[in-house]
Amino acid sequence: MKILAVTSCPNGIAHTYMASENLQKAAEKLGVDMKVETQGGIGVENELTEKDIREADGIIIAADKTVAKDRFAGKKVLVVGVQEGIRNPEQLIKKMMSGDVPVYQAQESGDSLPTTSKKENPVYRHLMNGVSFMVPFIVVGGLLIAIALTIGGEKTPEGLVIPEGSVWKNIEAIGGAAFTFMVPILAGFIAYSIADKPGLAPGVVGGYIAADGSFYGSEAGAGFIGGIIAGFLAGYVALWIKKVKVPKAIQPIMPIIIIPVIASFIVGMAFIYLIGAPIAQVFEGLTSWLEGMQGTSSILLALILGAMIAFDMGGPVNKVAFLFGAAMIGEGNYGIMGPIAVAICVPPIGMGLATFLNKKKYQVTEREAGKASFTMGFFGITEGAIPFAAQDPLRVIPSIMVGSMTGSVIAMLGHVGDRVAHGGPIVAVLGAVDNVLMFFVAVIGGVIVTAFMVNLLKKDVQGDGEQEGTPTEESIEEPSEKSEINKLTDITNLDLIDINLAGTTRDQVIDEMIGKLNQAGMLSSKDGFKEAILAREQEGTTGIGDSIAIPHGKSDEVKQPSVAFGIKRDGVDWNSLDGTDAKLIFMIAVPKQSEGDAHLKILQILSRKLMDESFRERLLTVGTKEGAYQLLEEIE
């Protein structure tokens, strides 16, 4: 019997390869021919070929992330979590051998997340799929437009304008093109996550209609909020159509013709006749209402404008407030655009600051987005806050609204004026702002309020993409030095080995091993690196089971990649998933700014080798540091 397998975990390091190793060992024990494809941190390895799939009796997918299943159509496919591949490989293979496994049909959803992962809110998962594909478009569009405006922009009564025929005009156009794809891509990949490929086209079409108000008689579209609605609507409509029983002759064209066409029609018509038009009427009414709120109601007006600017970050509500301020410039009233210019930059700068102030509350991807949002905020690109709002709208949107309202009111009280229809510190740098000092006071005030409020509301993350309670592995990478790592002993030595750890608690053991790294000259600060290690433990235990713990951290305090190894003979509680005490501890230290994937290879090899029970036993019984080092040399 021939069985194939695919293993993958969200970060693609230890668990991916542990599951692979255990499945292969179980297959050998049961006399089953098995090939395992790993989808790890450095890409797909040992990829399954068409011939492999054609000859296979079944496929086991042990993964905690989406694995495309189209290539397995017509084969028996068993989908479980990656932990099942590690803990119960024999049971999985026996179940496949028994034949009690469903045959995967091509028109089924390609969402291969296992039943063990369904504790995660599916709505949240679909939303995050769309956001992950949308973010690059925001970054590309925002930064290109910002660069073009800064270098090629000229102040005019109509705003900051790039002259026609300028090369910067072309760069601005490229950035604008990237922004036009933002909402359709968001909607398309939300729908794709729900209904697989049949949902992609309806989602993109629905997102485009949501963003283009001309379909339902509005100058302002429905923005990214409309895109989210379009994505979910398209996805679930496509999923519903997929479940309709049709003759076998029609089944092959269902996913490529019938489902996309019908779903696109339903979503498009819903926006044109049911969703888009009412929203357009609301926005037109808002504009008229704002025009009547000046004079004695200036503070209330500032509060409203600040809230509107932040509410949908470049969407239709934002555009109503922005266009109102631009219209006031044309009438010679610069005191309305001033508060708006402040409110525009508070959300992205505030969220960027928040990620720096408390990293424990943000995923790795969010912390990276925070760096870009700083720049986008400086250039008045409110959309820089969208990735944060899309991922956690109930906490982020109120926080950025309060921050923008705070900045807007300070600007109104400080008589801040803006003579161009643009926002952010860039307009002050270019000399378009009246009362520059109060402009920056207002920005700082709004940014601080946003950062502190959102960090107060948000909870600490469980890990980057891992489900709660599951050990995670951070994508730790090799630094930019040219030295190549081929085996574990390339990044460890006798000074980094302690075969008789004295600590009786996890934190005591961590202190001992950090001390080893520090004594060996691998750290510039023990305390700084310890913060990284403990922050990682708070995201999720690094006790991976089978008496093994792999604490690890990235920090600016690490001088070069290093691994400290320690043995705790009687074990120490590490809150491991299988309940075992940690006896074999590998502490991995990596510089914060590092590149490449050689170090990921070491983690993969380490994970595989540690699944060998006899190797673990040999390590536990070693009597000298030299003996331990010789055993570690086998990890290559």
Helix axes 122-152, 364-378, angle to 10 degrees: 30
CB 562 within 8 A of CB 589: yes
Say how many residues make up the chain: 636
* Phi/psi of residue 483, nearest 5 degrees: -60, 135
Helix H segments across 295-435? 298-311, 316-330, 337-357, 364-378, 386-391, 393-413, 425-429
**Rounded to an integer, what distance in angstroms lies between the CA atom of residue 572 and that of residue 580?**
9
* Phi/psi of residue 488, nearest 5 degrees: -60, -40
**Rounded to an integer, what distance in angstroms lies between the CA atom of residue 46 and that of residue 40?**
11
Token code pair at residue 156: 């005019």
Helix axes 625-632, 613-620, angle to 10 degrees: 160
Per the residue annotation, which of 15, 126, 422, 552 is the catalytic one? Answer: 552
DSSP 48: P
Residues 6+ apart with CB under 8 A from 438: 410, 411, 414, 415, 416
DSSP characters for 217-232? T-SS--HHHHHHHHHH
**Rounded to an integer, what distance in angstroms lies between the CA atom of residue 498 and that of residue 565?**
6
Q: Ramachandran region of residue 523, left (φ > 0), alpha (ψ -120 to 50) or beta?
A: beta
Q: Which of 305, 96, 315 is nearest to 223 (CA)?
A: 315
Residues 6+ apart with CB under 8 A from 421: 158, 159, 160, 322, 325, 326, 329, 337
**Rounded to an integer, what distance in angstroms lies between the CA atom of residue 513 and that of residue 488?**
17
Instruction: Indicate if 552 belongs to the active site.
Output: yes
Angle at 121 between CA 115 and CA 126, to 5 degrees: 95
**Rounded to an integer, what distance in angstroms lies between the CA atom of residue 351 and that of residue 498?**
43
Per the residue annotation, which of 9, 15, 422, 599 is the catalytic one? Answer: 9
Q: Which of 432, 417, 415 is nearest to 160 (CA)?
A: 432
Instruction: Indicate if 9 belongs to the active site.
Output: yes
Q: Which of 95, 94, 82, 92 is nearest to 20 (CA)?
A: 82
DSSP characters for 269-313? HHIIIIIHHHHHHHHHHHHHHHHT--GGGHHHHHHHHHHHHHHSS
Q: Which of 491, 519, 435 is nearest to 635 (CA)?
A: 491
Question: Which of the residues are catalytic?
Answer: 9, 552
